[in-house]
A and B are shown apart, each in its own frame.
Chain A
Amino acid sequence: MWSDLPLFPDRASSVAGDVDALFFALIGMSLFFATLIFFLIFFFSIRYRRRPGRGHADHVHNSIALEVLWTGIPVCITITLFVFGAMVFMRLRQPPPDALSIYVVGKQWMWKVQHPSGRREIDELHVPVGRPVKLVMASQDVIHDVFIPAFRIKQDVVPGRYTALWFEATKKGEYHLFCSQYCGTQHSGMIGKVIAMEPRDFEAWLAGSTEESPVKAGEKLFSRFDCTSCHAADARQRGPKLDGAYGHPVRLQTGQTVTFDDNYIRESILNPMAQITEGYRPIMPTFQGQLSEEQIMELIAYIKSLTP
């Protein structure tokens, strides 16, 4: 029957060990303090129980030293926990630059995944073992959340912006992929599988599809929606040049500087008046409602590809 009662989750990512180490440190600390408090309560309750000859409490004077001690010890412990928790957190939030980007769109109630090669899947996510993978995620409706317990990672998928999540799988296998932000009636049905494969098998799996790559699809959309008329390098340049722009700073009309990244491109397509590049007139129409989240991601993939 114990096989039916797992007590600890799979550990299958490069950060999982560190998260578990913190977790065990916290358990150790908790056990120490809980045992101390429980012991004192039991000990005092027995030793000083009311009984003949003990109808009265003894006077005990307040002790500043004790108050300082039991304020000081928690202060030191919490500072330590904060520092280590923050260090691991910063690591699991900052994807390595060479991570493989996979696009994920959440919608009520499914996960749609597209690989850079073009291969698409639903409610499944194939990834190679031993290589950092970055998920670039968008929601088409409400807030969802990608949660992979075996990797100890989680990130909300928020409509109106991209959020990202990265991991490096360390062990071949199939793992749960849960939506962990309540998203409506079939929330608990919005689950899938992460399939971590040996890199060779992963390449073979990717090759098993002839779907168009997001860059190609984005290029087509780019001309279909006539973006070329303003943004192509050889046009009369009514809009900012996109070649070589990705990842670089953009100076806005307001004097602010922002980074030309996925969220900036997305906002500029859907809400062009929000962040106008210095030196250009606000003439770009909005494409709100005309593009699906997947199409926006394809456009971004294409625009990104213009920067070598």
Chain B
Amino acid sequence: MSHHHHDPLDHEHYLNVSYGVKSWLLTRDHKRIALLYLISITLFFFLGGLFAVLIRLELLTPKGDFVQAETYNKLFTMHGLIMIFFFLIPSIPAVLGNFLIPLMIGARDLAFPRLNLLSWYIFIIGGIFTLTAVVTGGVDTGWTFYTPYSSTYSNSAVVLTALGVFITGFSSILTGINFIVTTHKMRAPGMTWFRLPLFVWAHYATSIIFVLGTPVLAISIVLVGLERIFGIGIFDPRLGGDPLLFQHLFWFYSHPAVYIMILPAMGVMSEVITCFARKKIFGYNAVAFSSLAIAILGFLVWGHHMFVSGQSEFEGLIFSALSFMVAIPSAVKVFNWTATLYKGSISFHAPMLYALGFIGLFTVGGLTGLFLATLAVDVHVHDTYFIIAHFHYIMVGGAVMAYFAGIHYWWPKITGRMYPETWARLAAVIVFVGFNLTFFPQFILGYLGMPRRYYAYPDEFQVLNVLSTAGASILGVGYLIPLIYLLWSLRYGRVAGTNPWNATGLEWQTPSPPSTENFEAPPRVEGEAYEYEEVKVA
């Protein structure tokens, strides 16, 4: 980029406006901060992925023979912690949300640019604590930190890890506040609430969870620390505490955290499907309000993680009923996206392939969620591989597929260059096949009764585990290919131009990459979102 007079992207934009480490580390531009997040979470994604590879290698054979039991327990703990707190939670909001929300609503930046940069620093500091814990021996509590194992019995670096998660939480809270204020106060003239892209609605709902849920996680972690360090009896019954109290506190945040991961993904879906079907979204209001419904109901279902924990039957009944309710707005979204395809003019670029993959996999994840809300069935499959399969269908089949859809869709806007389409389509297909081969056999394993977090297992489970490991290697390849071609495209990709997809959002009306100020003049919004039927396709 240093020879920027040779650069075909010769307008001044946020990437070439200044150079040097300082210009990045002290930037207040939401787009540069988004890239800082992109680089950080990509590193975390491949680190978490490496742990997954090691887990799958151990499970290739029934005996514990590849690593030690203790190492295995640390591997699945670190895989969960890193993927959830350092990849999935920040992925779409902190990268795509950060980059796009101001552009989509016609703003110059987020409401609090300095706070935005601070969020990233807090995220990195939390990450360093957690990585230090990995290097200095790891942690073996599972990402769920169940007490009293975590607070009294575990001999691993619980406090350091928990501190990392605690710190990182503040990054989420600040990002949430920033998005909420931005959505309220920074919308361009004419950008009414019901003209907002659904991506923004989804992030608004997510931000509510960030702000209301994350403090509860912080409190629970502090209480674990107090019990572990000072022996204050909160969760350990020998000290007069109650172990179930921790589960209530933990899931009060960590169930909504699932919606932190999936709501932004749903936001991406609404953008991508409309663009590649050239159609207005079917049922804008239904899709927008279902995001809010999911965010609110999501706070009332935590007890479905505890049907066999010793909580009362009455609680079980209440939480089962509420959990079924949260399925409904999710189903509504799937139906609306599918209906959006009706009478469209559909093309199958990589973002659309990922998006269609999302609908399929999220449907499977959502339907298997109904198995878990059904009390008597949950008793059998709780804490088995059925659960592992279910939440990977939601978090990887859903959230990660949508993240990849979004990265490809907005790559030309972010970098000014196109990714190579053929490679990208190939990778999308490989990811889809690899994903299903990895996780579908785990539904069967779960119903057969294979418990999760088992380092060694009875012989009869081997064939399904071998299939799963084979799938994981395919999935790994599917994730490495985009890493390579996206890096390649930074230099060799075709120049994208302002609006390569002929898309309708405001972000597509400013040059790619956008200038630091985003728009030359504040845009004025005249119509609703997704008026694709009015756009001439070149």
Do the beta carbons of A26 and B377 come within 8 Å of each other?
yes
Instruction: Assess the A6–B460 pair: CB atoms within 8 A.
Output: yes
Which residues on the A side are within 8 Å of B335 (C-beta)? 66, 70
| Least distance between B318 CB and chain A CB atoms (Å) | 10
User: B-facing mask of A65-79, CB < 8 A → 1, else 0?
Assistant: 011001100110011
Q: For A33, what are the chain B residues with a Cβ–Cβ distance below 8 Å? A: 363, 367
User: Contact: A9 with B449, CB < 8 Å?
Assistant: yes
B445 CB, nearest partner CB in chain A, Å: 10
- How far, in Å, is A44 (CB) from chain B's closest CB? 4
Contact stretch, chosen from A138-146, A211-219, A235-243, A250-258: A138-146
Say yes or no: is B345 at the interface (Cβ < 8 Å to chain A): yes
B426 at the interface (CB under 8 A from A): no
Contact of B380 with A78 in the complex, beta carbons under 8 Å: no
Sort chain A's interface into a size bin. 35 or more
Interface pair B238/A159, CB less than 8 Å apart: yes
- Report if A86 contacts B (CB, 8 A): yes
Closest chain B CB from A87 CB (angstroms): 8
Contact in complex: B449, A147 (CB < 8 Å) = yes
The answer on a CB contact under 8 Å between B370 and A147 is no
A122 in the interface (beta carbon within 8 A): no
Instruction: Give the residue name and chain of the B residue nearest to A39 (CB).
Output: B338
CA distance A186 to B64 in the complex (A): 11
Asked if B119 CB lies within 8 Å of chain A CBs, one says no
Complex CA gap A41/B447 in Å reads 29
Set of chain A residues within 8 Å of B70, measured between Cβ atoms: 185
Asked whether A159 lies within 8 Å of B243 as measured between CB atoms, the reply is yes
Task: Name the residue on B nearest A31 (C-beta).
Answer: B367
- Give the residues from 198 to 255 in chain B that come closer than 8 angstroms, CB to CB, to chain A: 236-238, 240-244
In the assembled complex, the CB of A115 is this many whole angstroms from the nearest CB of chain B, namely: 23
Q: How many A-B pairs fall under 8 Å by CB?
A: 277
The answer to the question of A62 belonging to the interface, with a C-beta cut-off of 8 Å to chain B, is: yes
Docked CA distance A185–B152 (Å)? 14
Minimum C-beta distance from A16 to chain B (A): 9
Tell me whether A48 and B346 are in contact (CB under 8 A): yes
A88 touches B342 (CB 8 A): no
Query: A143 contacts which of B146, B154, B368, B448 (Cβ < 8 Å)?
Result: B146
Q: How far is the CA of A162 from the CA of B283 in the complex (A)?
A: 51
* Interface locus among A126-134, A149-157, A202-210: A149-157
Known: A89-B316, A187-B73. A155 touches B308 (CB 8 A): yes
Q: Across the interface, do B140 and A70 meet the contact criterion of CB distance under 8 Å?
A: no
13 extra interface residue pairs, beta carbon distance < 8 Å, beyond A85-B373, A161-B310: A19-B380, A30-B370, A33-B367, A34-B363, A50-B278, A56-B537, A66-B283, A82-B373, A141-B148, A149-B380, A156-B310, A160-B238, A184-B73
- Residues of A at the B interface (CB closer than 8 Å) are 1, 4-9, 15, 18-19, 22-23, 26, 29-30, 33-34, 37-38, 40-41, 44-45, 48-50, 54-60, 62, 66-67, 70-71, 74-75, 78-79, 81-82, 84-90, 92-93, 108, 141-143, 145, 147, 149-150, 152-156, 158-161, 163, 176, 178-189, 191, 271, 288
A-B contact pairs, 14 of them (CB 8 A): A8-B448, A23-B371, A26-B377, A37-B334, A41-B338, A41-B356, A44-B338, A50-B346, A54-B345, A66-B339, A74-B332, A85-B378, A149-B449, A180-B382
